[in-house]
Amino acid sequence: MVTTITKLADFIDGITFADLPANVVHETKRLLLDSLGCALAGVTSDKGKWGIEFSRKFFAGSPQATVLGLGDRMSAVGAAFVNGELINALDYDAAGKHLPPFVIPPSLATAEMNRVSGKELITACALALEVGMRIGLALGSYRDIKDDKTSLPPVTGHSSAVFGGAAGVAKLEGFSGDEVAQALGMAGLISPVQTQTPMHKDLPTNSGKYLMAGWASQAAITAPYLIKAGHRGDIVILDGDYGYWRFTGSTRWDPDWVVSGLGEEWRFVRKVPIKQYPCCRMMHGGLDCLAAILEENKLRPEEIDGIHAYLEATCVEPLFNNPNIANQIDAQFSVAYNMSVLAFGIKPGARWQDLDTMNDPQIRQFMKKVTFEPHPEYVDSLKKDANTRISKVEVAARGRTFVAERAFIKGTITADPATYITDDELMAKFKDNASRILPSRKVNEACSRLIDLDSADDVTKVIEMLHL
């Protein structure tokens, strides 16, 4: 039987490292570097600490894989769980369906358990990212336009990433095409539910956010090993009127997005933008505008009378308007908080969510000066280019109004090199993140080994540099 899943499985089965285009290899290594750096900084976060505590209690019995940063050895399932939580802890990880914390940890744990080469890990992660992106794009999104507007669907989220994570694990385990199809089919059956909409609507915000990365990673590594043990998946789960899209509440489903151009067009390369701020990407365009105004005019916070931003349509949701910053997760989604921190000249990074920053009375008071609303041209801009996130900021200071507007967020891959985060910028971000937990010698060595990952004969030698 030929189904959407079997077509994906044949593609996954047939791909080798030699088949990967140079830009795919390069972007996969960039996303690994970025994600693992975020995990190292995440060790110092509340969410990271909670994940570590949970995994130590329940997964410490079988030393198969490593917890990034601290070096605990535990079961592959446990390591995948906690490393997913660490990558996503600060909301500093790459956006675009938030795939990296959902799909990289399962492959990383499996790669370490099997002591595979760097090329094999890169291949698995590239497939995980591509499969996760393709299925995610085929489903409904809060950026879909209906009746000339966008709105948050009743059910939405990133649960479909589980297919990508399972694909990477199956590839590393050397599954046949039939076994890959079964693994993908099982991944859909045990997929987490879609919980992003309640996160936007309900205050105080839950700490699982749009999907608990550890839970998605755990499901993704579980599915292939259930197949290996003898289970059977559902290879028609991506087809028909009662498939995955239906029972996960999607408003649309287009299987052509999943299988068209497989191997010819690698969609994740342009669709998983790296972040330069540790907060929800919805506000990054506004932060880019504010940063430009502050830098160009050398404005000090005491000179600013008010900041008004025009952002994405979702900025009206309670999540982004929360005046009470009780913890790091509240901070990650507060427009007023993040704009205030930037106005005070604090360098973007994990320090934005340090307790002394979040509780700074001057920053708390400054938050009252920040207002925002949807950009009036948001929908028209989105119609022209799905990658756009048009934003505008007006700063009242020195008796005048300073204005900046951007169509694309820094980190988006466009024809304009100014929107791209360069390799040098990415390495600086990694080193800043890694220095939260690792000594400088290891920071530099880890960065070098990840950049040169395709030359590693055993990934465990690289992982050794990613913990104390």
pLDDT tens sequence across 320-344: 999 999 999 999 999 999 999 999 9
Q: Is residue 370 part of a domain?
A: yes
Q: Is residue 447 part of a domain?
A: no
Closest by alpha carbon to 38, among 446, 433, 441, 333? 433
Task: Choose the final residue of a domain: 212, 241, 271.
Answer: 271
Do 312 and 179 share a domain, yes or no? no
CB count within 10 Å of CB 380 equals 13
Closest by alpha carbon to 131, among 212, 15, 242, 39? 15
For a pLDDT cut of 90, what percent of the chain falls above it? 94
Q: Is residue 252 part of a domain?
A: yes
CB count within 10 Å of CB 204 equals 12
Q: What is the pLDDT of residue 212?
A: 96
Do 305 and 239 share a domain, yes or no? no
Do 298 and 366 share a domain, yes or no? yes
Do 64 and 122 share a domain, yes or no? yes
Q: What is the pLDDT of residue 128?
A: 98
| Domain carrying residue 32 | 4-271
Q: What is the pLDDT of residue 149?
A: 87
Q: What is the pLDDT of residue 410?
A: 96
Q: What is the pLDDT of residue 96?
A: 86
Sheet holding 304-311, edge to edge: 370-374, 304-311, 391-397, 400-406
Do 58 and 158 share a domain, yes or no? yes
The stretch 174-189 carries a mean pLDDT of: 98
* Higher pLDDT among residues 301 and 143, named by residue: 301
Q: What is the pLDDT of residue 112?
A: 98
Do 332 and 379 share a domain, yes or no? yes
CATH number of residue 84's parent domain: 1.10.4100.10
The stretch 73-99 carries a mean pLDDT of: 97
- pTM score > 0.85 for this model? yes
Query: Cβ contacts of residue 265 below 8 Å, gap of 6+?
Result: none
Q: What is the pLDDT of residue 271?
A: 95
Label residue 151 by pLDDT band (50, 70, 90). confident
CATH number of residue 359's parent domain: 3.30.1330.120
The stretch 159-177 carries a mean pLDDT of: 98
Do 239 and 312 share a domain, yes or no? no
Do 191 and 327 share a domain, yes or no? no
Q: How distant, in Å, are the alpha carbons of 151, 377, 389, 420 from that of 382? A: 13, 9, 7, 19
Q: What is the residue type of 83?
A: N
Do 253 and 292 share a domain, yes or no? no
Q: Is residue 151 part of a domain?
A: yes
Q: What is the pLDDT of residue 61?
A: 87
Task: Choose the final residue of a domain: 271, 291, 318.
Answer: 271
> How much is the mean pLDDT over the chain?
96
Instruction: Say yes or no to pLDDT of 348 above 90.
Output: yes
Q: Is residue 308 part of a domain?
A: yes
Instruction: Say yes or no to pLDDT of 157 above 90.
Output: yes
The stretch 433-449 carries a mean pLDDT of: 97
Q: Is residue 154 part of a domain?
A: yes
pLDDT tens sequence across 25-57: 999 999 999 999 999 999 999 999 999 999 999
Do 247 and 299 share a domain, yes or no? no
Q: What is the pLDDT of residue 20?
A: 98
* Number of separate domains in the chain: 2
Do 318 and 383 share a domain, yes or no? yes
Label residue 242 by pLDDT band (50, 70, 90). very high
Q: What is the pLDDT of residue 148?
A: 85
pLDDT tens sequence across 92-143: 999 988 999 999 999 999 999 999 999 999 999 999 999 999 999 999 888 8
Task: Choose the final residue of a domain: 400, 418, 436.
Answer: 418
Q: Is residue 390 part of a domain?
A: yes
Q: Is residue 59 part of a domain?
A: yes
CA 77 to chain centre: 20
Do 31 and 104 share a domain, yes or no? yes
Say which residue the tokens 């690289």 belong to.
462
Label residue 146 by pLDDT band (50, 70, 90). confident
